[in-house]
Amino acid sequence: MKKSTNPCTRCGKERVFLREWVETVPSFLGDEVKVIHRENVCPDSECQKIVQAELDKQKKKRDELARNKDERLKNRKSNFALARKKKTLN
């Protein structure tokens, strides 16, 4: 079996294993599922710092986008309800 590689996105060095932890999350069926997280980092600590900062930035952006999407969806729903109301009135 081929060993899976996980090179650093910045310098291309093979990442080294840092830690592993198990998170228990509720599943749709009402029971719990275990999710294994593995954290790998660049062997170059300076490079890793930069990569991590970049990841944090991206995450923030994603969270913001998700929030905006949520807001838009809510707005659309209320607009739709409003439009239906108007239609019935006419």
The residue ranges that bind Zn ion (CB under 5 A) are 8, 10-11, 42, 44, 47
Strand partners, 36: 22
Task: Rank residues 10 and 76 by Cβ distance to Zn ion and give the closer one.
Answer: 10
CB of 34 to Zn ion, least distance (A): 30
**Cβ partners under 8 Å of residue 9, min gap 6:** 51
* DSSP codes, 12-38: -PBPEEEEEEEEEEE-TTSSEEEEEEE
Task: Rank residues 58 and 79 by Cβ distance to Zn ion and give the closer one.
Answer: 58
Task: Rank residues 11 and 40 by Cβ distance to Zn ion and give the closer one.
Answer: 11
CB of 43 to Zn ion, least distance (A): 7
DSSP class of 8:
-
